[in-house]
Each structure stands twice: as structure tokens, then as C-alpha cells.
Amino acid sequence: MDDWKQILAESITKPEDLAKHLGVDPKEVEEVVGAYPMRITPTVLATIKEKGDAIWKQVVPEAIEMDDIDAQDDPLEEDTDSPVPHLVHRYPDRVLLMVTNQCPIYCRFCTRKRLVGKPGFLKKGELDQAFAYLREHTEVRDVILSGGDPLLLPDNLIERILKTLRAIPHLELIRFGTRVPGTLPQRITPEFCEIVKKYHPIYMNLHFNHPDELTPEVKEACGRLADAGIPLGAQTVLLKGVNDDPEIMKRLMHQLLLARVKPYYLYQADLTKGTNHFRTSVETGMKIIQALQGHTSGMAVPHFVIDAPGGGGKIPILPNEYLLQLDENGAVLKNYENKTYHYPQPEQDRPRELPMVGVSSPGGLCGNGALDEF
């Protein structure tokens, strides 16, 4: 048995163990754990400093999860966009393939709370059905292995999946979405890295929400992946009481870059049933982006997106601050220090049709008018 499997097996999954390690009354969480599984790996347990801190909130079940009775199980309508089991084909050229529903930890805010951690997910022949779909659909050039967490599969199965996908000529990119490096770093073995290396270009997006998750051990695991030539991105979920603060986010982004991970997406929390107590206002995310952009390395600024309820996909949200006016003469711009600048349009293009831009600003410098003399 690989060491990492042993370490995963030592995780907290039962209310009694939670009581023993974190002093939570088992009766308080029994019902929640029955509905939505719990798993806390030793690495994550060791990172919890006190009751209710940013790590605790992400993994320790709370009775409030059961209060969310009106919300939907699948607000992103992934099941509607699924032509064959476990495959979501929402965008023209790329698909999401859920290869397992097991995770190293069960995030309390999980978008796929309806699916994860329950037995009997992948039935015999279902992966082959997904592969057949991909062979047939030559428009797909990018496949994202997700779940659950694909890195919980054993090496031989991961290799089988990569080999099968690489035999499909139109599949250019293979990506992994995983929380394993930050929660079960022992799983990033040299053997695993050797396997992945053979199937480049492989990309990985790692899930991190708080700077405390980047322990030395976790950073080393990220380093092993980076040394295997895998470009690493980070996906972060904006969570109330965990990271809804510009200073915490800035520290997280800096820690990620130190771990050789480039911040990719910052997600507005989804409307998934059982997770609504984590939601923040849309303005919270906009303010965080504003606090990063220009104030620190551009490398540290992720795209802030809302995955549109109803299956519209990820929609970027930018602070409304930067483009004060745009017309045939030029753009009036405001920088991170609130100073304004004028960028003239190229001479030869005037006059012309301008694209519709949703320019608005509190100062009322909208559309044509206020600053025509520029």
C-alpha cells in the first residue's frame, strides 16, 4: 500500500473522531455527516489552529448546512449539460470529465455536494462511454479531469485515463482540477510525477482558499509538480468568514506564487443547497480584485468569475472603476491610485462604430458628454 493511502485512511470521517480531535459534540454533526460526508486529512487537521478559523470552517460540518431547504442541488445545471454520465459539455471546445466522486477532504461549500463522497459513482463501462463521446466529438480540444478529485485515483488508473485521452488526436490539452496538493501532499509522489510527465501538455489547477494552507510540506508538493513541467494554476472560492478580505486574499495570492502556482480563478460562491451560508455580496469580490490590481504583481491577480446559475458558464466580473469613458476620440482611464489618463484612438479609425460597453461610474461620466473636450 502506498503511504498516501494509509495517510488518507487516517483522516477524520466519523463524528466520534471529530469529537476526539476537535472537541465537537458528535450529536451536533451526525445528521449533517449523514447527508453530506466529512473527511479531514491529517495535513488539514494539523493546520487548524482554533475553533471556527478559516480552515475549520471549510471542513468541519455545521448544522446550518441542513437549514438550506429551498436551494437547488445543482444550480449550475451540470446534469442538464451532460450528454453521457460524468461528462459536462457546456462550452464549444472543452469538457469536464468527473472521473471519481472521492475527495481528500469534503469542503462544506462544495458545488457538487449532491454527488461527492457517496458510494457507487462510477459504474462499469461509464468511463469508456465518455471516451467514446470524446472520440466522436472532434470539436473538443481540452478536457478537464475533475470529480471529486482525480488525484485520488490510483496511479495505474490515472495512467490508463491519460493514455486513452492522448490516443485521441484532437484532444490538445488535458487538465486536472485537484485539491490534493494542499490537503494530501504525500500523494504527489515521484512515481506519480513521472507518469504525468509522459503525457504533456498537462495543466493542473489546484484549489486553495487561505494562505495558511500553503505549509512548507504543501509547497514542496507543488514544487514536485512544477518540476515535472506541469503549469500550475489556482482556483479559489470566495467564502464568508474564510477569505472575504483583501488582506487575506493578497497573502494567499503571494503564497501561491511562492509555491510556483499562478492564481487563475476567484469564484463567487455558487447557490448550491447546503452552502449558502458561505455566500458573499458580489461587491466583496470586486473590491478584492481592486485591492490587488496595480497594488501588487499582476501575476497575483486572478479572474473573478461568477458561474452563472442556470448553466451560463463562468462570467468575468471586473471592478467598474477603470474605464470612465470610451468614444471615437479615446478612452478615459482611471488607474489604481485613482488618477485619470486619456488614451487616444488611432487617427485612421475615426469615425466608426463603437462596441457597446457597459461603462458606468459613480461620478456619472457615462457614454458621451462629460469629457468631450479630451
- The least distance separating ligand PLP from the CB of residue 174, rounded to whole angstroms, comes to 13
Does the annotation mark 224 as catalytic?
no
Residues 131-150 that bind ligand PLP (CB under 6 A): 144
The answer to whether 343 contacts ligand PLP (rule: CB under 6 A) is no
State the number of CA atoms in the 13 A half-sphere of 300 facing the CB.
24
Q: Go through 89-116 and write b for each residue having 16 or more CB atoms within 10 A of its CB, e for each that does not.
A: bbeeebbbbbbbbbbbbbbbbbbbbbbb
The identity of residue 173, as a single letter, is L
User: Closer to ligand PLP at the Cβ: 88 or 292?
Assistant: 88
Does the annotation mark 112 as catalytic?
yes
Does the annotation mark 193 as catalytic?
no
The residue with cell 450529536 is 27
- The least distance separating ligand PLP from the CB of residue 346, rounded to whole angstroms, comes to 31
The answer to whether 90 contacts ligand PLP (rule: CB under 6 A) is yes
CA distance 149 to 276: 22
User: Closer to ligand PLP at the Cβ: 177 or 182?
Assistant: 177
The residue with cell 462570467 is 315
Q: What's the first-to-final CA gap in the chain, in angstroms?
A: 70
The answer to whether 221 contacts ligand PLP (rule: CB under 6 A) is no
Does the annotation mark 25 as catalytic?
no
- Asked whether 132 and 177 are in contact (CB, 8 A), the reply is no
Of 86-94, 116-124, 184-192, 319-327, which segment contacts ligand PLP by CB under 6 A?
A: 86-94
- What x/- string results for residues 302 through 341 when contact with ligand PLP is judged by CB under 6 A? ------------x---------------------------
CA distance 219 to 39: 22
Partners of residue 99 on adjacent β-strands: none
Residues near ligand PLP (CB under 6 A): 88, 90-91, 94, 96, 144, 314
User: Annotated active-site positions, please?
Assistant: 90-91, 94, 103, 107, 110, 112, 270, 307, 314
